[in-house]
Copies of this chain bind each other. A is one copy, B any other.
C-alpha cells in the first residue's frame, strides 16, 4: 500500500480541493448557481445534507440526549423587535464601514487596521494608524468617514412597510432561549444548573463574507445556554470549554488542529464577561494559523436582566434550599454547524499518491480517502454487486432494501469494482459490501473497511447485526 500523505498539497491547495470535491460529489453547491450564484450563500447537496444532519445529530446526542440537565428548543427566526432592543443588538451589533470615494469599494475599517502592515508594506515598521489616516488599499483613493452598519437583516410583517411592522432575522439563536427561559423552567421543572440547547439558522448581513462556508450571511448555529448560580460561573466555563474541545476530538479532529484564543478585554462582545474561541487550523488562516470554530462565553446576567427590564416580566430563579431569588448567569457554547462541517471535511481529506488499491487501473491515479468519523459519514455502507447480471442484482438489491431500513446506504453497480471503491472512499463511506458470484453459493458477502482495508466475509443473515455493532 502506498504511503498516505496528510493534506498532500499546500494548505490553500487543500481548500481548493475541498471546494471542488464538495461540488463534484454533491456535498456543497454555490446557491442559485445557474443565476451566477448568490454571494456567500451555499446549498447542501445529497451527501452534504446527510453529513450536516449527522453533525447536528452528534451534537444533539452529546448536548441533549445524554444530558439529564439539558433540554432542547427550536425557536422561530422572526422574533418580537423588542428582543433586539433588550439584547443590545440594535445599538451594538454593528461593523465599522468605510467606502473608497474613488473606486467605490467597501471595507471594514477594523479589518483595514488589522491588516495595516500587509496592506501598506512601506510602513511595516510603524504602528497601525487611525482609519482617518488610511486610504483605499486598492486604488489609493480617499476613504469616507467610518460609519456603523447594523448587521441585522430587516423585513416587515404585514403589508405596511413602516417602523411598527419592522422585524429582524435573528442574528443569533441565543435570544430565542432567553425569552423562553421562564416557559422552559416551568414546563420542564429543571433546577439550576441546567441548560437549553438549540440548533437553527441565523443571519448576519456581513460586509465581507468569504472563505467558502466559513463566513456566510445565512448560517446555522448550535448553541447551548447553561444557567448557573453566579458563584459557579467560572467553574462551569472551564468545564464546558473542555467538553466542547473533547467533542470535536471525539469526532476525529486531533488536538494539534485545535487552538484556544482568549478574547482581550477590548474585543469582548457587548454581552460578554469572558470569551474563549475554540479555533481550528483552517487552511486560509495562513501557515500555522487558526480561525474560530466555536465560542464559549460567560454572558453573566446580561441577557436575562435586560429582558426582565425591557419586558417587565420577572426572569429570576428561586433557590429551593435558601429561598433566595437571583438572576442566573449564563455560560454559552456557540458553534457553527457550517464551520463544523467544513472543519470535518478538511480534517478528513487524505490523498494517497499512486492509489492504495491493488488493481492496475486504480494504481494509475492518486486516490482520495475522506476519513470522516463513521457517525458523520453521509453513506454508512455501499452495496456493490460485482456485475449487473440479474442473479447478483436480485441478491444485492435485497440486501440494500434490508439495510436501508436502518442505515443510509448507496447502491452502485456502475463501473469497475476498483473505480466504485474509489468513489466510496472519496465520499468517506466506512464499509463497502461486495456481492460476488461466490455469494450465490455461500450466502455471504465481502465487507471492506475504509481505513484498515481489511476484508471480512460476512453471512447475509448476519450483515445487519454486523453493521449494527459497528454503528451502535
Contact = CB atoms under 8 A, between A and B. Distances in A.
Interface of A: 23-26, 29, 31-39, 41-50, 52, 64-66, 68, 71-80, 82-83, 97, 106, 149, 153-159, 167, 169, 176, 179-180, 182-184, 187-189, 196, 198, 201, 203, 205, 207, 217-218, 307, 310-311, 313, 315, 400-401, 404-408, 411, 414, 472
Nearest to A168: B155
A179 B35 contact: yes
A78 B179 contact: no
26 contacts: A24-B187, A25-B187, A32-B179, A33-B183, A34-B313, A35-B179, A38-B157, A43-B180, A45-B180, A45-B184, A45-B188, A46-B73, A47-B187, A49-B74, A49-B198, A64-B408, A68-B400, A76-B218, A77-B201, A149-B159, A155-B155, A155-B169, A157-B205, A158-B207, A201-B201, A406-B472
B80 A43 contact: no
Contacts of A401: 66
A73 B97 contact: no
Given A35-B311, A218-B78, A72 B50 contact: yes
Contacts of A153: 155-156
A176 B32 CA distance: 8
Nearest to A48: B74
Contacts of A307: 34
A184 B82 CA distance: 42
Contacts of A408: 64-65
Contact of A155 (B50, B154, B184): B154
A265 to B, nearest CB: 29
Contacts of A23: 183, 187
A26 B187 contact: yes
A46 B187 contact: yes
A76 B42 contact: yes
A313 B38 CA distance: 16
A286 to B, nearest CB: 27
A79 to B, nearest CB: 5
Contacts of A400: 68
A326 B42 CA distance: 28
A49 B72 contact: yes
A137 to B, nearest CB: 19
Contact of A159 (B159, B180, B207): B207
A45 B218 CA distance: 24
Nearest to A400: B68
Contacts of A35: 80, 82-83, 179, 310-311
Contacts of A44: 73-75
B106 A159 contact: yes
B34 A46 contact: no
A310 B187 CA distance: 51
Given A26-B187, A49-B198, 13 more contacts: A23-B187, A24-B187, A32-B79, A32-B179, A34-B179, A34-B313, A44-B73, A45-B188, A49-B74, A65-B404, A66-B405, A97-B159, A154-B155
